[in-house]
Structure 1
């Protein structure tokens, strides 16, 4: 599994409830741009419109070798592929319980198809974000201390 793009901001701003694998409907120029690693999911989000999932505000850059006729919208809506029962389940949770749908990453699967990880998330409060930062800093300090200890034994 080769990761094309990851939404790091979503992991900081939201607590993940559940993850799903989705397919994505793309044009040829979008696939070529994704193979070149020209994608950004930073401000993207997912909406359910008329019973279908759409990835909105995801940026897939144009390549300068793309023919003018085959160009795509850089921030256009892209349809996501999931089973109807899963979409209905997600729609119920989003509308009633106040969850949000966010795309966490895009990747190539074993068959070299572009897939995405869709997450059902709930927004974090400010104190939760602070706790996340403190934990991240403590883990970094512990890892650095272990690294320094190991270096002392090797010399």
Structure 2
């Protein structure tokens, strides 16, 4: 089994990531089984500090099909993230700055536990996104030319 569960590719496009943090995730048993089955979407997931605790919002974990209705979980419920108190306070002060948010970057397995990587992100403007796309195209063209040159030799 691969250690990578899901990646939020939109976060890299929409935000400048300033810092990254690893956090544990408080889950129910049916949520873990759904994650193992690959029934997860993290494209709109973000974290928020409330009452000195960190919660994950927008993470869509589909209900496990073979569980009964009374035992299953809500797909988009807020889930608590597990971090040290000093890290939570540091994140709370970082999000107090205008334009900063805590997007979920990726979700992965570590020692049979589900971990998430969240980042302190500052939103990119439209011109920043265009500049990144331009740099990516230029890099791809340079690599293509290097490959052509190496094939001729």
Query: TM-score under structure 1 normalisation?
Result: 0.89
Q: Distance in 1 between matches of 2:38 and 2:146?
A: 34
Taking only aligned residues, the RMSD between alpha carbons, in angstroms, comes to 1.7
Per the alignment, residue 15 of structure 1 pairs with 16
Gaps of 5+ in 1: none
Q: Distance in 2 between matches of 1:66 and 1:136?
A: 45
Superimposed CA distance per residue, residues 26-45 of structure 1 (whole angstroms, 9 cap, x where no aligned partner): 00111011111221111111
Per the alignment, residue 121 of structure 1 pairs with 121
Q: Deviation of residue 49 (structure 1)?
A: 1.0
Q: Distance in 2 between matches of 1:78 and 1:23?
A: 10
In the comparison of the two structures, how many residue pairs are matched? 152
Task: Give structure 1 regions of 4+ aligned residues with deviation exceeding 6 angstroms.
Answer: none
Q: Deviation of residue 76 (structure 1)?
A: 0.9
Q: Distance in 1 between matches of 2:140 and 2:39?
A: 29
Structure 1 residues 66 and 142, CA gap change in structure 2 (3 angstroms): farther
Structure 1 SS opposite 2:21: strand
Per the alignment, residue 84 of structure 1 pairs with 85
Structure 2 SS opposite 1:70: coil
Gaps of 5+ in 2: none
Structure 2 SS opposite 1:116: strand
Q: Distance in 1 between matches of 2:7 and 2:62?
A: 15
Q: Distance in 2 between matches of 1:36 and 1:148?
A: 42
Q: Distance in 2 between matches of 1:150 and 1:71?
A: 57
2:54 touches 2:80 (CA, 8 Å); kept in 1?
Answer: yes
Q: Distance in 2 between matches of 1:47 and 1:67?
A: 31
Superimposed CA distance per residue, residues 36-75 of structure 1 (whole angstroms, 9 cap, x where no aligned partner): 1221111111111111111101111123222222211111
